Structure 1
Amino acid sequence: MITDIESATPALCRLQLGSELRQLRQAAGLNGRQVVRKLLWSSSKLTRLETGDNASVEPSDVIALCQIYGATAEQRAVLEGYAAVTKTRRDWWQSAEYRPVIRPGFKAYLGLEATASAFQTYASEFVPGLLQTEAYVRAIYANGHQALSAEEVDSLVTVRMTRQEALLRTESPLKLTAIINEAVLRRAVGGPKVIRGQLGHIVDVVTARPNVRVQVVPFKLGLHPAMSGPFVVLRFSDRAVPRHIVYLENLAGAWVYRKEGDVERYVEAFADLQALAPGPHESLNLIKKAVKEH
């Protein structure tokens, strides 16, 4: 339960609302099919509510579910409060400025990232977004497969830079653990000057922020558990349901995985990779060496 709804973000309220509604449904001994049949809803509507994927939640929908689930007056008041926040406030990425350049799948991911307590990522080709410099981001979009206007590039750069503020929060900053392939250090994205600045930035952030940890997977390690490609594991607080979510992205789109079996495979792969890769100190030396080589 959120202790201070007044200061909570819409993304956090959506996630918490979905979690508590799911728990109430399960406590009432109902499955999703029974609920949507009673309310004449589509099954996707209930799924979106329980996973926090809606941009906003109608209080009337919450009231209807609370009646079916037999929620107490106190539970109903709290859940209606969550819904009210989603109706009266907007997350920064939902503004008109960013809406045209953020794909639906990525928009859903941003809501999860904003509420996560820890972020674990394996990066095979690019520096993880939360550690990228503005020059590096611009170089990526300038050479992308999709023709973008200068205004669209500016908006995408702002989105990337704004996301990084999660690492700097004074209260409960996001805990970032990044494992990057050695190819990321070698690939001169944007040219020597840009990549030197980018790698130097990683060194600075890791040195200054105890909530950021970076490891490098050197080529000499050979085969490793993440050879299939990059991924992100988002971890949530002990009270959140589910505890972990996986995000995958490629040229065709972006996907969020919540199924326990699918998620567990990525959680295990990241843990194995963390154990195989050189530790943070040795990895930092590899990054510093790459800076000099560029």
Structure 2
Amino acid sequence: MSHDESPTLLRRQLGRFLREMRESQGLTIQDAAKEVQLSYNALQRLESGRTINPRKQDVRELCMLYEVDAEETKQAVDLAARAAAARGDDDVIALGGMFSDAFNMYVGLERSARRLTSYQVQVPGLLQTADYARALIGSFLHNGTNDEIERSVQIRLRRQVIVTRKARPVALEILLDESALHRIVGNRRVMRAQLAQLTEAGKRENVSLRIHPHSAGFTRGILHGSFVILDFGTDRRGDPVEPPVVYLDGGMSSDLYLEKQELVQRYTEMVDCIRRTALDETSTRDLLRQVAKEKYGDR
């Protein structure tokens, strides 16, 4: 167990999982709490990540009630133990990563967010075509079977429902580095289709897509990598449902999660700087069409 693990992120991850499992069974909090002999408030606190020391026995009984399989039950119980024992300082938290088989922390956060603000140097997963995703994943899982690659592709595509669903789609702001238009993933045909999909995605009311051009130089004089700011909206009283989180893809290492307010603020300020030098949405679509025609068009 890493002493750097964040108790708040772990509790939120556990609560989110339990809530989704309960809802998949069509149970209310009242129904589930009664079945496992918890109070309504106790289960509500557990699902919202506010239980300081989640009990493994409670988690195990809830998983049995929700008909969770043995492997996921084991992971959930382990998560409860880690959440109770973690003593992270909520500064920079390293969890999971490409090589982790544990619950995907980021996907759970992404699914719960009301707004995602992201700077990317490649087309983000939420806007990838199947062929673009297949080329990327196939390159990473170069020793994987076709079935393994295809499963990963389908998981990535299913994530996109948060953008396209009719009820409360996520507000998605993508600031995409121009290099993503020119670095070939797959082949010219794949890139042509991907740029066309980006053009269409940028027309959605809940999506803002803007290219950060090479001519903008280095924001604040540094070469920064990709990041995502996840915002979870506010409740009826106007209070944040959950504190915002900054996610940094760890690539070959662990993913990083920044929870500390001053660190989140730094990335929020970085976004403001990038916005000021990014193309507007109309110019972005023009550039996407131009590159698709001139670089990837039929010859």
Does TM, scored on the shorter chain, surpass 0.5? Answer: yes
* 1:194 alignment partner AA: V
Q: Which runs of 5+ in 2 are unaligned?
A: 20-38, 49-57, 74-97
Measured against aligned partners, the alpha-carbon deviations of 1:198-234 in whole angstroms (never above 9, x if no partner) come to 0001111222x11011010111111124721111111
Deviation at 1:265, TM superposition (A): 1.2
CA contact (8 A) 1:235 1:243 kept: yes
Measured against aligned partners, the alpha-carbon deviations of 1:168-198 in whole angstroms (never above 9, x if no partner) come to 1211101111011111011121111000000
* 1:289 alignment partner AA: Q
Deviation at 1:122, TM superposition (A): 0.7
Within a 5 Å distance, the mapping from 1:66-145 to structure 2 comes to 75-76=41-42, 78-79=44-45, 87=63, 88=66, 103-104=100-101, 107-124=104-121, 126-144=122-140
Q: Decide which of 187, 196, 203 is 2:199's aligned counterpart.
A: 203
Q: Decide which of 214, 218, 229 is 1:219's aligned counterpart.
A: 214
* 1:275 alignment partner AA: R
Is the deviation greater in 76-85 or in 104-113?
A: 76-85
Indicate the percent of aligned positions where both proteins have the same amino acid: 26
Within a 5 Å distance, the mapping from 1:1-294 to structure 2 comes to 47=8, 50-53=11-14, 55-56=17-18, 75-76=41-42, 78-79=44-45, 87=63, 88=66, 103-104=100-101, 107-124=104-121, 126-144=122-140, 146-207=142-203, 209-225=204-220, 227-239=223-235, 240-249=240-249, 250-293=251-294, 294=296
Is the deviation greater in 260-269 or in 194-203?
A: 260-269
CA contact (8 A) 1:118 1:174 kept: yes
Deviation at 1:252, TM superposition (A): 1.5
Measured against aligned partners, the alpha-carbon deviations of 1:108-157 in whole angstroms (never above 9, x if no partner) come to 11110010001111111x10110000000111122226522212101110
The 2-side partners of 1:195 and 1:271 are apart by 29
CA contact (8 A) 1:105 1:254 kept: no
CA contact (8 A) 1:206 1:213 kept: yes
Deviation at 1:79, TM superposition (A): 3.6
* 2:243 alignment partner AA: R
Count the aligned residue pairs.
229
Q: TM-score scaled by structure 1?
A: 0.68
Q: Which has the higher helix share?
A: 1
Q: Which runs of 5+ in 1 are unaligned?
A: 1-41, 58-72, 96-100
The 2-side partners of 1:255 and 1:43 are apart by 11
Measured against aligned partners, the alpha-carbon deviations of 1:256-290 in whole angstroms (never above 9, x if no partner) come to 22121222111111122112211111111111111
Q: TM-score scaled by structure 2?
A: 0.67
* 2:217 alignment partner AA: G
